[in-house]
Amino acid sequence: MNTPHRTAARLVRAATLACALLLALPARAAAQEAGAQEDKEPRDFCWRGRPQSSCEMVAVVHFSYYPPMPPTRDLGAPWEWEFGLLVNRGPAHAVGGTVSVGMDGDGTRTALKARYRRWLSRYAAVDASGGLALATSDWDPSPFNHNSALGVTGDVAVGFTDWASVGVRGDLLWRDGEPLNATYGTVRLGTTPGLTANALAVLGFIVLIFTVGSLGD
């Protein structure tokens, strides 16, 4: 029988294996690029993700879709926007945090996560993040909503930081003492298309407000 506890155990084992593989990846490419650019002064902040040879801090602006993987039944498939900051700690590593907001078919999704990035090259990286997550139903974003579920979330993704990445994610939440678990794939737009998607979302929201207002008149 596929109990939530067994699912959680599988998620922990998968996350442990992913972290082990992550730490085993060679940082040679990023280190070589850092050496090639060590005579240049890095910028304090960059919108586009770059290792320490180019930037001290980098923005995280992502738009992600998480398609559910079997046997997920308890939670819907969320769309989420993610914003945050990473600080480069050497030529191959960066640490920081993000806030994500989004929705699924039942209501809203929010999360506060710590993030680790392993640079594979100037343009590619592996990201691992984890933290607290909140899912609400009935479209009430309050954590005190009796239908809200609170718990933990974690994901690992690999790809091109400016454009796109793919990965896996696991959620384990509790609602009224009952566990809700979900395993997802990850399809993520990086900073460049992510900024575009966010701008279009804001524009669409403004248009929707004016449309509803005009209908009310």
pLDDT digit string, tens, across residues 125-141: 999 999 999 998 765 55
**Cβ contacts of 108 within 8 Å, gap of 6 or more:** 101, 102, 134, 135, 136, 139, 140, 141
CA 182, distance to chain mean position in Å, is 15
Residue 190, classified by CB atoms within 10 Å of its CB into exposed (0-12), middle (13-18) or buried (19+), is: buried
**In the predicted structure, residue 45 carries a pLDDT above the cut 60:** yes
Q: What is the pLDDT of residue 100?
A: 96
d(CA 193, CA 53) in angstroms, rounded, equals 24
- How sure is the predictor about 168, in pLDDT bands with cuts at 50, 70 and 90? very high
**Cβ contacts of 75 within 8 Å, gap of 6 or more:** 68, 104, 106, 135, 149, 171, 173, 180, 181, 182
Averaged confidence pLDDT in the chain: 81
d(CA 117, CA 60) in angstroms, rounded, equals 11
3-state secondary structure of 212: helix
Residue 75, classified by CB atoms within 10 Å of its CB into exposed (0-12), middle (13-18) or buried (19+), is: buried
How is residue 102 written in tokens? 């989004």
C-beta separation of 158 from 129 below 8 A: no
**Beta strands 55-65 and 43-46: pairing type?**
parallel
- Mean pLDDT is lowest, of 27-31, 98-102, 150-154, 183-187, for 27-31
**In the predicted structure, residue 144 carries a pLDDT above the cut 60:** no
**Beta strands 164-175 and 124-135: pairing type?**
unpaired
3-state secondary structure of 53: coil
DSSP 140: -
Cis peptide bond N-terminal to 78, omega within 30:
no
**Cβ contacts of 155 within 8 Å, gap of 6 or more:** 127, 128, 129, 130, 167, 168, 169, 170, 184, 186
**DSSP string computed for 9-47:** HHHHHHHHHHHHHHHHS--HHHHHHHHHTTTSPPEEEES
For the chain, list the domains and their CATH numbers: 4-216 (2.40.160.20)
d(CA 135, CA 55) in angstroms, rounded, equals 35
State the pTM of this model: 0.75
